[in-house]
Amino acid sequence: MMKKELTEEEKRVIVYKGTERPFTGKYYDFKEKGTYLCKQCGAPLYYSEAKFDSGCGWPSFDEEISGAVKRVPDVDGRRTEIICAKCGGHLGHVFIGEGFTPKNTRHCVNSISMDFLPENGKDTETAIFAGGCFWGVEHLMRQQPGILSIEAGYIGGNTEHPTYKEVCSKTTGHAEAVRIMFDPSKVSYTTLAKLFFEIHDPTQTDGQGPDLGDQYRSEIFYTTDRQKEIAEELIRELKGKGYKVVTRVTSATDFWKAEDYHQDYYNKTGKEPYCHRYTPRF
CB 157 within 8 Å of CB 174: yes
CB 93 within 8 Å of CB 56: no
Residues β-bridged to residue 47: 35
Of the residues 56, 133, 168, 275, which is catalytic? 133
133 is catalytic: yes
Of the residues 38, 84, 108, 275, which is catalytic? 108
Report how far residue 82's alpha carbon sits from residue 70's, in angstroms, rounded to the nearest whole number: 6
CB 134 within 8 Å of CB 177: yes
84 is catalytic: no
DSSP 8-state symbol, 55 = S
Where residue 88 falls (left for φ over 0; alpha for ψ -120 to 50; beta otherwise) is left
Report how far residue 153's alpha carbon sits from residue 50's, in angstroms, rounded to the nearest whole number: 14
Report how far residue 93's alpha carbon sits from residue 109's, in angstroms, rounded to the nearest whole number: 7
Residue 60 neighbours by CB under 8 Å, 6+ apart: 51, 52, 53, 54, 100, 106, 107, 108, 109
CB 34 within 8 Å of CB 116: yes
Active site residues: 108, 133
